[in-house]
Amino acid sequence: MSDALSNDHDASDMSGGDDGQEDVMTPSELIGKLEEAWLNEKFSPELLENKSERVECVMEQLTHMEANLQRVRKGDMKASVHRMEIDRIRYVLSSYLRSRLKKIEKFFPHVLEKEKSRAEGDTSFLSPEEFAFAKEYLANTETYLKAVALKHMPPNLQTVDMLKAVPEPCLDSFVFLRVRARQENILVEPETDDQREYVVDLDEGSQHLMRYRTIAPLVSSGAVQLI
């Protein structure tokens, strides 16, 4: 369906951002990548790396499509098909951003801690706007708890350690995945004491159900896709 886009658009190349981290992509590749990021984020128990360049590109794309739609002759069959496509893309994008926001809110002290302690060159997990949102959420919640209860408590109990109080993401939850690039010698840690660790090879195209922790680095590298 996304091929219908390329016929109507002037700009069929989408070069992401100014740092050129993403290669020049066609619109359908861009949407494909958005869907991958969307699924990964939806099924992963923890917050994944932020893909704000992709988000920006998709938004540009949507604006472009809306503008094109205005120019199409009214009542033309193509208009409704394009309209549906715009709505679908907007849904995927919104759902992706909502997944991220939900996780940021759910794990806010840990997310902020992770961001604070990351090294200079590492990619950020939060976009600047998400970071601001997370900080505001923390401040808002702390202010609230203090005002309603904590300030009325005995002096030694007036603070709550958010890192301890808010649960961490459960990295041992099981996820379904499809393998994109063959992986060898993946070490699977034992779950119980009477199991022993073992090693698996993941064949390209195969699908598995595994603990997230085992394959977390493969998700960020793109070697597997969560489904």
Partner 1 sequence: MFCEKAIEIIRELHRMGDGQLPAFNEDGIRQVLEEMKALYEQNQSDVNEAKSEGKSELIPTIKFRHCCLLRNQRCVTAYLYDRLLRIRALRWEYGSVLPTNIRFHMCAEELEWFNQYKKSLATFMRSLGGEEGLDITQDMKPPKSLYIEVRCLKDHGEFEIDDGTIILLKKNSQHFLPRWKCEQLIRQGVLEHIMS
Candidate list 4, 55, 200, 216; residue touching partner 1; CB under 8 A = 55
Q: Is 137 in the site for partner 1 (CB under 8 A)?
A: yes
Candidate list 67, 84, 170, 227; residue touching partner 1; CB under 8 A = 84
Q: Is 75 in the site for partner 1 (CB under 8 A)?
A: yes
Give the contact letters, 191-220, x = binds to partner 1 (CB under 8 A), - = no. Answer: ------------------------------
Q: Is 59 in the site for partner 1 (CB under 8 A)?
A: yes
Q: What is the four-CA torsion angle of 160, 166, 167, 171, rounded to 10 degrees?
A: -120
SS (H, E, C) the chain: CCHHHHHHCCCCCECCCCCCCCCCECHHHHHHHHHHHHHHHHHCCCCCCCCHHHHHHHHHHHHHHHHHHHHCCCCCHHHHHHHHHHHHHHHHHHHHHHHHHHHHHHCHHHHHHHHHCCCCCCCCCCCHHHHHHHHHHHHHHHHHHHHHCHHHCCHHHCCCCHHHHCCCCCCCCEEEEEECCCEEEEEECCCCCCCCCEEEEECCCCEEEEEHHHHHHHHHHCCEEEC
Q: Is 71 in the site for partner 1 (CB under 8 A)?
A: no
Q: How far is the CB of 188 from partner 1 (least distance, A)?
A: 35
Among the candidate windows 116-124, 125-133, 172-180, 184-192, which touches partner 1 by CB under 8 A? 125-133
Look at the alpha carbons of 162, 166, 169, 170 in this order and tell me if their dihedral is positive or negative: positive
Q: Is 66 in the site for partner 1 (CB under 8 A)?
A: no
∠128-171-175 over CA atoms, to 5°?
105
For the segment 159-178, give every residue that binds partner 1 (CB under 8 A): 160, 165
For the segment 22-51, give every residue that binds partner 1 (CB under 8 A): none
Q: Is 129 in the site for partner 1 (CB under 8 A)?
A: yes
Q: Is 111 in the site for partner 1 (CB under 8 A)?
A: no
For partner 1, which is the closer residue by CB, 43 or 137?
A: 137
Q: How far is the CB of 175 from partner 1 (least distance, A)?
A: 22
Q: Is 130 in the site for partner 1 (CB under 8 A)?
A: yes
Using CB under 8 A, list all residues that contact partner 1: 55-56, 59-60, 62-63, 74-75, 79-80, 83-84, 87-88, 90-91, 93-95, 97-98, 101, 105, 129-130, 132-133, 136-137, 140-141, 143-145, 147-150, 152-154, 157, 160, 165
